[in-house]
């Protein structure tokens, strides 16, 4: 069974992501210290709230280095909401310096009619990616946030996977190699959310190795890709 | 485009979902997680649990219900009723809630809103405002007073001013209930909703008085609400969530299609 470590750094509800990954077919380890990552096949960093306290708590638990090393080794990684924002250089919310693995900053959704952006909104894909297999190209997912990362530099179009409109388009999903980041909450997004997590779990077991092809948005996935198990229960 | 959320509210007492005109004539309706799962499958965009007993000795039961619900219904869950401290809010979030709604405690200690928002983020802090209409000066606009303890106690606070202050303190959303309309099925107080929605930058959830799909449309169009909450019309199965959403879509409002039902 695919083992997924979910990083616990005191940033909100872990019950939903734990349960959703189980329903998606994974065995879940809640990781509070570096040793908890041993034996894990995939890593999930969830989280809501502000970036600076999150980075401070990750640092206190000794998890900054191990997470950085995990991603540097291109091991399967999913960042959710704040867990996606932390991958970028920093956040305008509190000036936090974050992982800096992806170029760009988290910025306030300036053109939003109201903030926080709370509720279900269409995630419009700008390219194909196996984590979205079987999901409509504009399926609604659940959001709750006021900031979103704005990828910058030459790699921005290549890493952008989906955009969502709240007053203006913002980047709602990114991917690079075996890393995926989503601004929405798949664990709170009903059937399609469970489907995405099931896809991630099956990718962890057998990721199409050609990262360049993924980045280029190869229309057809490589052969031999594992199929996602159907969620065991429908929400 | 962001969909208007349709949110069933489940009143919970002693570990069971109950219904009645709020707080009286309660009838046992069943196990909260089971009902939550049913509503999620029927297209609920979020769920609200309101612990109407909110007794300290019942907290363990409530936390157990929250966790069992979070493991069954993969839609967001807001829990309200009796949360009085950062620590209590933390416990409810840890059990699996996404948001906590503060009502009486926020009125008594407004700084609680700020502290909870700083600790958990504004997106997790809902301030619930129960408002009662009061007559304004002759010829003037009507006003609303904040009431607490299930509407039994007035506070003298102006509801619109309190709403603005709560948002400034860090509330990420306001759940605005018209106590005059609550349980009466005479429609939302759209003037109240509009007065508040125009004063705050955060989403406003309409509550109190929904009788039919037209009321949901009015809450959004006339009241400026971002989400609509109702209890009895769903519990009594007078209208399905799908029917409400279909009516809203027909009126041109963005809704999330009910899973498995063609839009």
Asked if B74 lies within 8 A of A14 by C-beta distance, the reply is no
Beta strand pairing status for B5-13 and B47-51?
Answer: parallel
Closest alpha carbon to B5 in B230, B234, B259: B230
Smallest CA–CA distance, residue B36 to chain A, in Å, is: 10
B256 occurs within a structural domain: no
pLDDT at A217: 44
Higher-pLDDT residue of B192 and B232 is B192
Asked if A119 lies within 8 A of B5 by C-beta distance, the reply is yes
Closest alpha carbon to A136 in A191, A79, A203, A206: A191
A223 occurs within a structural domain: no
Task: Measure the CA angle with vertex B73, ends B68 and B74; round to 5°.
Answer: 120
B37 occurs within a structural domain: yes
Closest alpha carbon to A175 in A123, A112, A139, A225: A123
CA dihedral sign of residues B53, B59, B65, B66: positive
Q: Over 70: is that where the pLDDT of B20 sits?
A: no
A166 is an active site residue: no
Nearest residue on chain B to A147, alpha-carbon basis:
B123
B224 occurs within a structural domain: yes
pLDDT at A209: 58
Concatenated DSSP letters of B93-146: HHHT-SEEEE-HHHHH-THHHHHHHHHH-GGGEEEEEEEEEE--STTS--EEEE
Which residue range forms the structural domain that includes residue B171? Answer: 5-250
Q: What is the interface pTM, i.e. ipTM, of the complex?
A: 0.94
pLDDT at A210: 52
Cross-strand bridge partners of residue B17: B12, B30
Taking the Cβ of residue B121 and every Cβ of chain A, the question of whether any pair is shorter than 8 Å is answered with: yes
- pLDDT tens per residue, range A198-215: 999 999 998 865 554 445
State the CATH number of the domain containing residue B58.
Answer: 3.20.20.70
Evaluate whether A190 touches A235 at the Cβ level (below 8 Å). Answer: yes
CA distance A92 to A84: 15
CA distance B167 to B129: 12
A150 occurs within a structural domain: yes
pLDDT mean over B10-32: 76
Of the listed B130, B182, B189, B215, which one is catalytic?
Answer: B130
- pLDDT tens per residue, range B96-153: 999 999 999 999 999 999 999 998 889 999 999 999 999 766 766 779 999 998 788 9
Asked if A190 lies within 8 A of B259 by C-beta distance, the reply is yes
B257 occurs within a structural domain: no
Which residue range forms the structural domain that includes residue A141? Answer: 3-215
- pLDDT tens per residue, range B28-64: 778 899 999 999 999 999 999 998 886 666 777 889 9
pLDDT at B142: 75
Nearest residue on chain A to B201, alpha-carbon basis:
A114
- pLDDT tens per residue, range B197-223: 999 999 999 999 999 999 999 999 999
Q: How many domains are contained in chain A?
A: 1
pLDDT at A145: 94
A221 occurs within a structural domain: no
Smallest CA–CA distance, residue A32 to chain B, in Å, is: 15
State the CATH number of the domain containing residue A70.
Answer: 3.40.50.880
A206 occurs within a structural domain: yes
Residues 168-187 of chain B whose Cβ lies under 8 A from any Cβ of chain A: 172-173
A234 is an active site residue: no
A224 occurs within a structural domain: no
A46 occurs within a structural domain: yes
B130 is an active site residue: yes
CA distance A177 to B37: 36
Q: How many domains are contained in chain B?
A: 1
B120 occurs within a structural domain: yes
Q: Residues of chain A whose pLDDT is less than 70?
A: 11, 208-235
How far is the first Cα of chain A from the last one, in angstroms, to the nearest whole number?
23
Q: Over 80: is that where the pLDDT of B82 sits?
A: yes
Q: What is the DSSP letter of A32?
A: S
CA distance A119 to A21: 21
B210 occurs within a structural domain: yes
């Amino acid at each position: 069974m695919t083992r997924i470590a979910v990083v616990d750094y005191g940033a909100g509800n872990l019950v939903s992501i734990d349960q959703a990954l189980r329903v998606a077919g994974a065995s879940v380890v809640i990781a509070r210290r570096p040793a908890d990552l041993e034996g894990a096949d995939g890593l999930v960093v969830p989280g809501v709230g502000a970036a600076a306290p999150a980075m401070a708590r990750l640092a206190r638990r000794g998890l900054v280095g191990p997470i950085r090393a995990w991603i540097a080794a291109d091991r399967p990684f999913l960042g959710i909401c704040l867990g996606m924002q932390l991958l970028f250089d920093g956040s305008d919310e509190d000036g936090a310096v974050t992982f800096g693995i992806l170029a760009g900053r988290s910025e306030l959704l300036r053109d939003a009619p109201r903030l926080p952006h709370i509720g279900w909104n269409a995630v419009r894909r700008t390219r194909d990616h196996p984590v979205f297999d079987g999901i409509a190209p504009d399926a609604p997912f659940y959001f709750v946030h006021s900031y979103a990362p704005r990828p910058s530099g030459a790699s921005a179009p290549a890493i952008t996977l989906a955009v969502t409109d709240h007053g203006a388009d913002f980047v709602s999903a990114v991917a690079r190699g075996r890393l995926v980041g989503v601004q929405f909450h798949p664990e709170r997004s009903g059937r399609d959310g469970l489907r995405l997590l099931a896809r991630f779990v099956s990718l962890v077991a057998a990721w199409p190795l050609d990262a360049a092809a993924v980045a280029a948005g190869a229309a057809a996935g490589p052969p031999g890709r594992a199929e996602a198990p159907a969620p065991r229960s429908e929400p | 485009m962001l969909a208007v959320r349709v949110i069933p509210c489940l009143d919970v007492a002693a570990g069971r979902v109950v219904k009645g005109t709020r707080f009286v004539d309660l009838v046992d309706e069943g196990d909260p997680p089971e009902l939550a799962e049913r509503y999620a499958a029927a297209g609920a965009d979020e769920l609200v649990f309101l612990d109407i007993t909110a007794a300290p000795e019942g907290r363990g039961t409530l936390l157990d219900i929250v966790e069992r619900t979070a493991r069954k219904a993969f839609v967001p869950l807001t829990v309200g009723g009796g949360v009085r401290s950062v620590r209590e809010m933390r416990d409810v979030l840890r059990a699996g809630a996404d948001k906590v709604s503060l009502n009486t405690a926020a009125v008594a200690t407004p700084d609680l809103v700020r502290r909870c928002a700083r600790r958990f983020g504004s997106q997790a802090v809902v301030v619930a405002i129960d408002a009662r209409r009061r007559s304004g000066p002759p010829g003037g606009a009507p006003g609303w007073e904040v009431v607490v303890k299930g509407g039994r106690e007035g506070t003298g606070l102006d509801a619109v001013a309190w709403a603005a202050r709560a948002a400034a303190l860090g509330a990420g959303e306001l759940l605005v209930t018209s106590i005059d309309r609550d349980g009466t099925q005479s429609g939302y107080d759209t003037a109240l909703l509009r007065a508040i929605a125009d004063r705050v930058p955060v989403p406003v959830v309409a509550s109190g008085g929904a009788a039919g799909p037209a009321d949901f449309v009015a809450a959004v169009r006339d009241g400026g609400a971002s989400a609509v909450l109702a209890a009895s019309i769903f519990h009594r199965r007078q209208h399905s969530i799908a029917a409400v959403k279909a009516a809203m879509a027909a009126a041109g409002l963005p809704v999330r299609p009910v899973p498995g039902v063609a839009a």
